[in-house]
Every structure is written in C-alpha cells, then in structure tokens.
C-alpha cells in the first residue's frame, strides 16, 4: 500500500516504521503547524498524495479542515477529541469513499467494549465506575476510549448519567451515577478499567496497552482491509465482515 500519514507525532512515526518494515510505502505526510524533521513529501490536501489509504493519528484542528475538501482516498481515522463533529464529517465522506473510525485502534479494546455490553446486561444492580490512565503528554480527558465505553454504559442503563468530579458532592452516591476518572502521569501507554461494585463483591474488567505499537498495527490492519471495501462508514463491528 501507498500510505498518507495525517499528523506526524509519536503514533504516526511508529506507524511509518512498521508500515515500511511490512513492505508498504509512505506516500507523504500532512502535518501543518507541526515542527518535525519529516523524511517524507509534505502535502496540504488528502487526495494530493494519490495514496491508497490515509492513516490519521492527529487532532481535530488538523483533520477537520482536511475533511472540508472532497476526499476520495480511503480514510483510517484515530483522532480523539471533538468526537461528534469528526464522526459527522466522516459520515458525509463515507458516501463516496470507505471510512474507518475508532477512538482506539486496539482490537482488544473493541473486545473490552463487547464484554462490557454483556456485563451490563447481567450486573444492572451494581454501581459502575470507569477509570483511564495515560501518559502526561495526553491533552484530552477523559480519553476517547473511555468516552466510547461510557457511551456503551449510558445506552444500557436508562436514566444513568456521568459524574466526573465528586469534590462538591456531599451526599451518598446515587445508583444512576457512573463515575468517570482520568489519571495522567509518566509514560503510561493506556489503561482502561471498568469496575462493577455491589455489597461484598467487586468485578473489574481491564485493558492495558503495553506498547503504542498495538495502535499502529491496528491502524495498518484496518487500512489493509479498508482499501478493498466499498464506500461506507466502518468500525470494528463491521470492517471484517465478508464482502
């Protein structure tokens, strides 16, 4: 594949190396406003690169203006932040080109979300808390992955709502609350925990990312599948369905 990289931070540096190790070519990079020594051609529009697929590990300020243009190149998008706007734009683009979106490119996180759905159907009387931990350079909180897990929980628990800060709450916890916590420190790659708690018992579901390569490999696997797909909006729920 000829791959266009959108953004050239840590994640797409890793993606480029793994892609070239696997025999793919990097067609170029779009990284406006980023001060990097980039060893690939620079582009300002997605289709200019004439790539087979574009892989985005950037931020809304970069990807959203690019989606204002007509885009025919298949898109693998992993931007977190401003999720509603990003997905709305991608839905528009999916009318003319295949688009894959995931707030977390790890397939294991997709499995975590599926396990969560099952647990929610069986543990409706348990209090629910969610927590994520990431490195100290991550700017958005809670993470896009935790937002996805929270959305799953909210959809399965009628009347539930998130609580992000208990410092001003001076009363006992309500059953409808879903606690949401974010921790930032050091070089933590990414950990997501879902805690179900009831009298005398606790059930925890956890996913730990032990290297950033799992996200890059996930994006490359999605890209390899996406280039053979018809225009549509894809995620891990439908990407690998038989054509």
Report phi then psi at 195, rounded to 5. -120, 120
Residues 218 and 186 placed together within one structural domain of the fold: no
Is residue 103 very low, low, confident or very high in pLDDT (cuts 50, 70, 90)?
A: confident
CB distance 194 to 206 below 8 Å: yes
The length of the chain, given as a count of residues: 243
- Whether 137 maps to a domain, the answer reads yes
Residues 148 and 187 placed together within one structural domain of the fold: yes
Supply the pTM of this predicted model: 0.79
- Whether 69 maps to a domain, the answer reads yes
CATH number at residue 151: 3.30.360.10
**Helix-strand-coil percent breakdown of the chain, rounded to 5?**
30, 25, 45
Model pLDDT for residues 128-181, shown as the tens digit of each residue: 999 999 999 888 899 888 998 999 999 999 999 999 999 988 999 999 999 999
- Residue 185 lies in domain: 107-209
**pLDDT at 84 (0 to 100):** 85
> Which residue intervals of the chain are DSSP H helices?
10-21, 60-66, 83-93, 107-122, 144-156, 213-226
**Which residues carry out catalysis?**
134, 138
Residues 88 and 146 placed together within one structural domain of the fold: no
Number of domains in the chain: 2
Model pLDDT for residues 42-76, shown as the tens digit of each residue: 999 999 999 999 999 998 999 999 999 999 999 99
Q: Cα separation of 127 and 150, whole Å?
A: 14
State how beta strands 98-101 and 201-209 pair: unpaired
CATH number at residue 87: 3.40.50.720
Q: Cα separation of 229 and 239, whole Å?
A: 8
CB distance 225 to 240 below 8 Å: yes
- Whether 239 maps to a domain, the answer reads no
CB distance 80 to 56 below 8 Å: no
Q: For 120, which DSSP code? A: H
Q: What is the number of other CB atoms lying within 10 angstroms of the CB of residue 175?
A: 12
């Amino acid at each position: 594949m000829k791959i266009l990289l959108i953004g050239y931070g840590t994640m797409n540096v890793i993606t480029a190396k793994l892609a070239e190790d696997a025999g793919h070519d990097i067609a170029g990079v779009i990284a406006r406003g980023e001060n990097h020594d980039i060893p690939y051609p620079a582009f300002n529009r997605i289709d200019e690169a004439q790539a087979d697929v574009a892989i985005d590990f950037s931020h809304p300020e970069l990807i959203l203006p690019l989606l204002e243009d007509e885009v025919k190149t298949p898109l693998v998008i992993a931007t977190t932040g401003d999720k509603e706007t990003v997905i709305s734009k991608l839905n528009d683009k999916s009318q003319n080109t295949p688009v894959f979106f995931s707030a977390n490119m790890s397939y294991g996180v997709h499995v975590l979300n599926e396990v969560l759905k099952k647990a929610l159907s069986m543990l409706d009387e348990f209090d629910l808390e969610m927590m994520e931990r990431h490195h100290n350079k991550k700017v958005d909180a809670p993470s896009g992955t935790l937002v996805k897990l929270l959305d799953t929980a909210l959809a399965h628990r009628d009347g539930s709502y998130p609580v992000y800060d208990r410092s001003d709450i001076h009363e006992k916890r309500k059953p409808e609350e879903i606690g949401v916590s974010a921790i930032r420190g050091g070089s933590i790659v990414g950990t997501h925990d879902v805690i179900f708690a009831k009298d005398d018992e606790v059930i925890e579901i956890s996913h730990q990312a032990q290297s950033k390569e799992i996200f890059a490999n996930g994006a490359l696997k999605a890209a390899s599948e996406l280039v053979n797909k018809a225009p549509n909006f894809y995620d891990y729920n439908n990407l690998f369905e038989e054509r």
